[in-house]
Chains A and B, each alone.
Chain A
C-alpha cells in the first residue's frame, strides 16, 4: 500500500510541477513586484500611481463585470427555466438548438463579430433602419463600455446556461409536478423551486465567468480601446509602452482582489 501511495505521487508530480513553475511562481512574482520600488525595497507607490491614472478604469471594470455577471445570471436562468418548464416541445427544441451557438466561439472572434455588428453603421442599426424602427440619424454605435457588456453576455451566457439547464434537468420532477397541481404558475415554480436548488451550480458558473471576463484582453481592446475601458487594456499598455511592471502588477493585484472578494462570498455561502 505504501508503494501504491508513492507511485501515485510520482505520477502526479510532473503535472503539479508544471503548474508550480509556470503558474504559482509567476503569480508570486507578480505579487512581490506589485509592492516593489524600482530599485527594490517595499513601496505602495505602484498602487498610488495605479489609482492616480486608472481609477476611472478600475471603476468601469467593476461595473462592466458586475453588470455582465448579473445579466448572464438572468439570461441563463431564463433559458434553463424555459428548457425545463417549457410546455411546447418544438419551442424547447428550437431554443436548445439556438442558445448554444456562442459556446465555444473564441473571444477574439466574438469581439470581431461585435465590432462590425454594433458599430454606428453596423448590421444591427442597418436592420433597425430597414425595418423602419429607427431613422438613419437616430442610430447610435455601441462600441464603448456598453459594447463590452453586450459581447461578454453574448459569449458567456451559453456556458452558464448549459450548466444551469443541466442541473435543472437532473432535479426531481415530482416537486415541480406537485407545485403545478397546486396551481403555481411557471414563473413562481422557476424562482421558488428550481433556482434555489440549482444555486450552487449557477454560482460556480458565474464565478468562472467572472474570472474569465476579468482576464480577457481582446474584447476591450477591440470594442473600446480608449478610456473608459478595462484594466486589462491598461496593464497591457503599461507593459508594452513603458515596461512598467510595478504599476501593471499593482493593477493585477487589484484584479486578484476583485475575484477573491467574489470567491469569498461564494465560500461564505457554502460554509453557512
Chain B
C-alpha cells in the first residue's frame, strides 16, 4: 500500500509534466475566451474552429500544401531509396559503410546552417518559394530513414525465397518485383510513414526555402503563435499532432524487431 502512495505521487507528477502541456493545448483549442486571472477558459466554443476550417481559409490551404509536399516527398524518397536500399542489402558494393554513412550526414550536421545556404543557391535557380524547392529539401532530410529502413527491410527478406524463384526460372527483375518487393513492403511502408511525418512537421528548411509563397501548416502555426492568436495556433497544432500520436501508438506494428535489428547494419 505504501509503495502505491509513493508511485502515485511520482506517476502523478510525471503525468503532469508529460501530459500537462498537451492538455493545455487542448484547452486553448476549445477556448473562445481565456484571460488573466481566470485559471480555465472563460467561454468555450467552436468559433475559432469555424474560422480555421472555413472553405478556402488559410489553414485549409496550408493543410493541402503540407499534405501535397509530404506525399511528393515520400514519392521522391522512395524512388531514390528503394533501388539504393536493395543494392545496399543484396548487391556487392564498394565502400558500403561509407555510402550508408553518407545518407546520415544531413542529420549529423546542424541543418540550419546548411539550409540558409541551400536557400541562397536555390535563389539562383528560382527554386525559392516553390513547392519543388521545398520537396527537394525535405527529400534529402528524410533520405536517411528511407534508405536505412528500406535496406534493413530487404536484408530481412529470406534469401532462400529469392533463390527458389531464380531456380524456377524467374528473371532477376521478376524475382525482385514478385518476391523481394512484396516481402519488404511493410518495412518500406514504415519508412514511408517516417518520411511523411518528417516532411509534415518540418519547419526550419521550409522557413528559409519556402518563403514567401509556400506556407505549410507548421509555418502557419508559428505565424499565428507569434501574432498571439493562441486559439488558432492551438487548433493547427492539434491537426499536426494527430498523425504523430497515431504513429507513436502503432509504430511497433510496422517496424518489426527483425527489421529493426538490421537498421544501419
Contacts and interface: CB of A to CB of B under 8 A. Distances in A.
A103 interface: yes
Interface residues of A, number: 80
Interface string A231-243: 0100110010000
B201 A108 contact: yes
B150 to A, nearest CB: 10
Given A1-B92, A8-B87, A113-B237, A19 B18 contact: no
B48 interface: no
B112 interface: yes
A265 B36 CA distance: 49
Contact of B136 (A22, A104, A222): A22
Nearest to B40: A126
A12 B88 contact: yes
A15 B108 contact: no
B107 interface: yes
Give the size range of B's interface with the partner.
Answer: 35 or more
Nearest to B111: A215
B108 A117 contact: no
B30 to A, nearest CB: 13
Contacts of B14: 95, 98-99
Contacts of B27: 123
Contacts of A41: none
Contacts of B81: 15
A13 B235 CA distance: 42
Leading 5 A-B pairs by shortest Cβ distance: A252-B113, A8-B91, A106-B201, A113-B21, A104-B244
Interface of A: 1, 4-5, 7-9, 11-12, 14-16, 18-19, 22-27, 29-30, 33, 88, 91, 94-95, 98-117, 121-124, 126-127, 129-130, 136, 154, 208, 211-212, 214-218, 221-222, 232, 235-236, 239, 245, 248-249, 251-253, 255-256, 259, 263
